[in-house]
Amino acid sequence: MSVPDYMQCAEDHQTVLVVVQPVGIVPEDQFFRIYKRIASVAQVSIRDSQRNLYIRYRHHYLPENNDWGDFQTHRKVVGLICVTTCGSGKEWPQTSERFHGQKEVFGATLYDSRLLVFGLQGEIAEQQRTDVAFYPSYDDCPDVEKKVEDFVESIFIVLESKRLDRATDKSGDKIPLLCVPFEKKDFVGLDTDSRHYKKRCQGRMRKHVGDLCLQAGMLQDALVHYHMAVELLRSVNDFLWLGAALEGLCSASVIFHYPGGTAGKAAGRNPSAAQGQAADAGKRHRPGAQEVLIDPGALTTNGISADTSSEIGRAKNCLSPEDIIEKYKEAISYYGKYKNAGVIELEACVKAVRVLAIQKRAMEASEFLQNAVYINLGQLSEEEKIQRYSILSELYYLIGFHRKSAFFKRVAAMQCVAPTIPEPGWRACYKLLLETLPGYSLSLDPKDFSKGAHRGWAAVQMRLLHELVYASRRMGNPGLSVRHLSFLLQTMLDFLSDQEKKEVTQSLENYTSKCPGGMEVITLPDGLRLHPVPFTKLPIVRSVKLLDLPVSLRPHKQKGLMENSMSTKSPFIYSPIIMHNRGEERNKKIDFQWVQGDVCEVQLMVYNPMPFELRVENMGLLTSGVEFESLPAALSLPAESGLYPVTLVGVPRTAGNITVNGYHTSVFGVTSDCLLDSLTSVRTSGCLVEVIPSLPRLQLSTSLPRSAHPLQPSKEELSSSVSVQLFNGETQQLTITLENIGSEDLETLEITSKISNTKERLFGEFLIRLDFSGGENLLQDLMTVNGISVTGLPISSPLRQVLKPRAETRPPGSESSKTDYNHVKMLEAVMTFKYSGGAGKVEGYYRDLTLGLHVDVEPSVFFTRVSTLPATSTRQCHLLLDVFNSTEHELTVSAQNNQDLVLHASECQRMAIQVDKFDFDTLPQPDQETVRYTSLKLLEEERLHAQASMINSTLGITWDIISFAALINMQARLSSQTSLIMRG
């Protein structure tokens, strides 16, 4: 007896063992179909008596174990059912022969046998034989169950007769000594007549009868017999059999106390039988007791009532639940005395544990199991070891020791792939390892780890994950190992040493080179679903911030339409109650817009927790709401980097509300989709932004170089700015080129300008409105002088426009120049190009393009004194001007019909010009339209300006810096101030 049956439980003692075997060639699936049908007959009520017979079916049983049948009768094979295929009559004799051969194997112990023949028809099948049943095919055998029941009944008859036979074997006859295989040689030459020997024979026989009674469904009788056997055997110190008697007593008591059975869900090997038992559990409630109650005469007829005091009462014979364990302990201690009874001891332990599990006495059960671990069964094959460890694990699970269970399961898994095994069962190993996961409180769903810090047995869990990775790799499923390895890296990152981090990532890269990791759910054959593992820690993202478009591309809503689009969430204009709670923060709409078709940016602050450079590839945004084209980026983060800004870009392709849900990365060949919802550590100021329909996009370039120099009062952000340095009165042409680089047609363009930091009034608002059709590049030349004022005229013409507005210049430094000639004046102006087009225009959006203009005005020529002298003609006069050159260059001043005057640096000379007298009243009066719209002060300014222009045109004083002559042509003009003096 070397192979223990770990599935045994106490109630198996009342079953009779029937072996079902195929004979000849029987297809395996067909055999097991028949086997299942046979095994469904697990309990048979015997006619004419109220007893039940329980049958245990085995399709494989070692004859060696059968030899222990006398010791415990439930180990004895009493029935044999053979299943065979027989095609024709010719094969019949051979088949029959085989059946007889099979019978020989268990010959000594068989009560009865049956042969089920499939496929045979004809005259042989016609004959009526009790031990053979013929069926045309495996599918056509409706009465198999009936046959089996008949067969069981015939077994019962034999069993009953044996029981009566043995029970009535009175001491008059010589009682044979029953013994177990290894005892046989011990009794050679023993005095068979001694009292001691006789008692031993009696005791063993009592125990045997007890077994038979139990099997025959006479529980109370069995108890009585066992009690007697215990007494007898104890007196002769026959420990092995005493143990067996005690165990019998326990089994009978267990059957009495727990009619539901102790096997629980663990009866895996014979599921249908177990189900049958469970279903019938209610029906077979205390069969023995019932029988005794109904038919008390039965006790007297079988002749043992004389010696047993049946009056003692059933309850007294039966052990209490506590006693059952005590007796089991005792029995096991007796078994332990015999090395050869290891299997019996082990099985007894298992049975006891199952009973204790039902009693919920986990501590004692664990002691039994602890003992079972140490039982040495000699050399075990690898498969037996695996079986032993798995069953230990199962039993520990049964008593609620989940960690211990996991431990043994893991040992079993490791045993599956022990180096001594020629063909390691990696698949089995993997499967067992997966089963250990709950025991180590490890879930393979990364979501369970996202909440806060990891709490668990990191060292043990890491080991297990490593084993899973290795097993799945050896199984030839690299996808699985990538998944497990990713999981290991993601969840155990905090516990990995730097060296381990390196190793793990290296092997991950190795695996992914063959099988890239993805985001799909892997479903294992047994239904377990492995969720994808997004690498949210590689790199760690600290914050996500959606960025507004650059100033020049920001869309603005037309004022008039603003009111309509105002959200009417609350009827109150202002309410102190904040409508959003913190949870909604993420879903809060951000108060800027993105534009369809334009590149939008999201800034992430990331850092690399690894001790080496981390290469993140294909990093992009995950969005929902609108069609979004993400433009992935690749980045390389230095080892243990601090926070590192990363900008992810993309282009919304449709309009609507866009939500940034997360980002995707590809690290070490594993692609991951990291959703912000599951990342609690990420700070974000909202992920929802409105995308408005597309707008045209203008690019501005100027003929002058751009300046980084910002305008002084930076009240508003400027798209670009230009700065020039000019002498007072100098004219500089500036060409501004606008190009529509967007995909939408430009439909409207509005140009406005304003001087930002001069207190002087500016003349004539600059306003150009152009209507364009056609998507061609817009090229526009604008001339502006000194950044003061430009009067534009509306021009409407298709395609290329060349616009040359008349420019008027007013030397602005004249007033202050009286006191400080070297004063450098600074002028700033902003030109705004407001444009719109396409679908965005329909929605009422436009864009602003601003150009800052910064002019440093250096003093050039000053008129320090102005006086007039009467000329020869009364219609004319001489104008005397003291001209001062404040520049560092030599220059010439010329006036209309006058010769040039050369002025050296910082030189002052007087020049006289003969001019015609004129009257300002001849100036044209502003028309009614303008008068209505402008203030009086403005009108006065206007008038002065007109007068100045007139003086300017009359005098036509210009100056040139000789050294720059080739480059610049400058014009000096008199101020209106001067002209007033002149008039006076």
Q: Which residues of this protein are in contact with another protein, per CB under 8 A? A: 362-363, 366, 370, 374, 396, 400-404, 407, 440-441, 455-457, 459-460, 463
Contact 688, 587 (CB under 8 A): yes
- Tell me how far, at minimum, the Cβ of 84 lies from another protein, in Å: 49
Residue nearer to another protein on the CB measure, 396 or 845: 396
Tokens representing residue 108 in the block? 């000594």
Around Cβ 697, how many Cβ atoms within 10 Å? 21
| 586 burial via Cβ count (<10 Å: 0-12, 13-18, 19+) | middle
Residue nearer to another protein on the CB measure, 441 or 748: 441
Residue nearer to another protein on the CB measure, 363 or 966: 363
Phi, psi of 581 (to 5 degrees): -95, 180
3-class state of residue 645 by DSSP? strand
- Tell me how far, at minimum, the Cβ of 134 lies from another protein, in Å: 56
Residues whose CB is less than 8 angstroms from the CB of residue 544 and which lie 6 or more positions away in sequence, other chains included = 602, 603, 604, 660, 663, 676, 682, 683, 684, 687
Residues whose CB is less than 8 angstroms from the CB of residue 353 and which lie 6 or more positions away in sequence, other chains included = 365, 368, 369, 372, 395, 398, 399
Calculate ∠ Cα 763-767-769, nearest 5°: 165
- 656 beta partners: 691
Residue 570 C-alpha from the chain's centroid: 39
Tokens representing residue 695 in the block? 């707008």
- Pairing state between β 15-23 and 52-58: parallel
Helix 362-374 vs helix 342-359: crossing angle, to nearest 10 = 170
Residue nearer to another protein on the CB measure, 69 or 439: 439
- Tell me how far, at minimum, the Cβ of 245 lies from another protein, in Å: 30
Residue nearer to another protein on the CB measure, 402 or 557: 402
Tokens representing residue 581 in the block? 């709670």
| 97 burial via Cβ count (<10 Å: 0-12, 13-18, 19+) | exposed
**Residue 698 and residue 834: Cα distance in Å, rounded?**
10
* Tokens 């001043």 belong to residue: 893
| Category of 844 on φ-ψ map: left (φ > 0), alpha (ψ -120 to 50) or beta | left
Residue nearer to another protein on the CB measure, 438 or 518: 438
**Residue 419 and residue 401: Cα distance in Å, rounded?**
29
- Tell me how far, at minimum, the Cβ of 362 lies from another protein, in Å: 5
- Tell me how far, at minimum, the Cβ of 470 lies from another protein, in Å: 16
Contact 354, 261 (CB under 8 A): no
- Tell me how far, at minimum, the Cβ of 390 lies from another protein, in Å: 16
Residue nearer to another protein on the CB measure, 370 or 797: 370
- Tell me how far, at minimum, the Cβ of 241 lies from another protein, in Å: 31
- Tell me how far, at minimum, the Cβ of 631 lies from another protein, in Å: 42
Contact 374, 428 (CB under 8 A): no
Residue nearer to another protein on the CB measure, 405 or 753: 405
Helix (H) or strand (E) holding 234: helix 219-235
- Tell me how far, at minimum, the Cβ of 844 lies from another protein, in Å: 55
Calculate ∠ Cα 537-543-547, nearest 5°: 135
Beta strands in 438-584 (DSSP E): 522-523, 529-530, 540-546, 555-557
- Tell me how far, at minimum, the Cβ of 332 lies from another protein, in Å: 17
Residue type, 433: L
3-class state of residue 554 by DSSP? coil
Residue nearer to another protein on the CB measure, 105 or 362: 362
- Tell me how far, at minimum, the Cβ of 319 lies from another protein, in Å: 23
944-960 as b/e: b if 16+ CB within 10 A: bbbbbbbbbebbbbbbb
- Tell me how far, at minimum, the Cβ of 402 lies from another protein, in Å: 7
- Tell me how far, at minimum, the Cβ of 403 lies from another protein, in Å: 5
Residue nearer to another protein on the CB measure, 400 or 638: 400
**Residue 73 and residue 588: Cα distance in Å, rounded?**
77
- Tell me how far, at minimum, the Cβ of 374 lies from another protein, in Å: 8
- Tell me how far, at minimum, the Cβ of 221 lies from another protein, in Å: 38
Question: Cα dist. 169→71, 166, 207 in Å?
Answer: 18, 5, 13
**Residue 229 and residue 223: Cα distance in Å, rounded?**
10
Residue nearer to another protein on the CB measure, 41 or 391: 391
Residue nearer to another protein on the CB measure, 403 or 889: 403
* Tokens 């040493």 belong to residue: 497
- Tell me how far, at minimum, the Cβ of 411 lies from another protein, in Å: 10
Alpha-helical segments (H) within 577-619: none
Phi, psi of 147 (to 5 degrees): -60, -45
830-845 as b/e: b if 16+ CB within 10 A: bbbbbbbbbebbebbb
| 609 burial via Cβ count (<10 Å: 0-12, 13-18, 19+) | middle
- Tell me how far, at minimum, the Cβ of 322 lies from another protein, in Å: 15
Residue nearer to another protein on the CB measure, 441 or 791: 441
| Category of 813 on φ-ψ map: left (φ > 0), alpha (ψ -120 to 50) or beta | alpha
Q: DSSP assignment, residue 181?
A: G
Contact 355, 10 (CB under 8 A): yes
Contact 414, 426 (CB under 8 A): no
Alpha-helical segments (H) within 437-475: 458-474
- Tell me how far, at minimum, the Cβ of 368 lies from another protein, in Å: 12
